[in-house]
Amino acid sequence: MAFLAGYLRELAEKGIYDKDDIVDKYEAWVLENRHMVMAHQREAWVSDAGEWEYIAVKCAKRGNDVYVSRVDSRL
């Protein structure tokens, strides 16, 4: 379910527009969580300086909770 746009493009090319199927696929895509792993090297003043620290962050996708909270904070 990585690319909703690709799926919708396939439906359009085939002339198939099943609204219920499109809504189901969109909801499944929104509920699929994506995470990004970021790494940075610790500063010299921190113990274990020079070692890498890894942080996993949930990505914002249109419709998920991270996206909604970011939009709410801007409004």
pLDDT tens-digit profile of 30-59?
Answer: 888 899 999 988 887 877 777 888 999 998
Amino acid at the residue 48: D
**Claim to verify: residue 38 and residue 26 sit in the same structural domain:** no
**Claim to verify: residue 50 and residue 75 sit in the same structural domain:** yes
- Of all residues in the chain, the percent with pLDDT exceeding 70 is 91
Nearest to 28 by CA among 65, 67, 60, 2: 2
CB proximity list for 58: less than 8 A, separation 6 or greater: 33, 34, 35, 66
Higher pLDDT, 29 or 49: 29
**Claim to verify: residue 40 and residue 12 sit in the same structural domain:** no
**Claim to verify: residue 27 and residue 49 sit in the same structural domain:** no
**Claim to verify: residue 44 and residue 23 sit in the same structural domain:** no
**What is the pLDDT of the chain when averaged over all its residues?**
82
The total of structural domains in the chain comes to 2
Neighbours of 4 (CB within 10 A): 17
**Claim to verify: residue 2 and residue 23 sit in the same structural domain:** yes
- Structural domain of residue 63, as residue ranges? 34-75
Q: What is the predicted pLDDT for the residue at 2?
A: 52
Tell me if 41 sits within 8 A of 50, measured CB to CB: yes
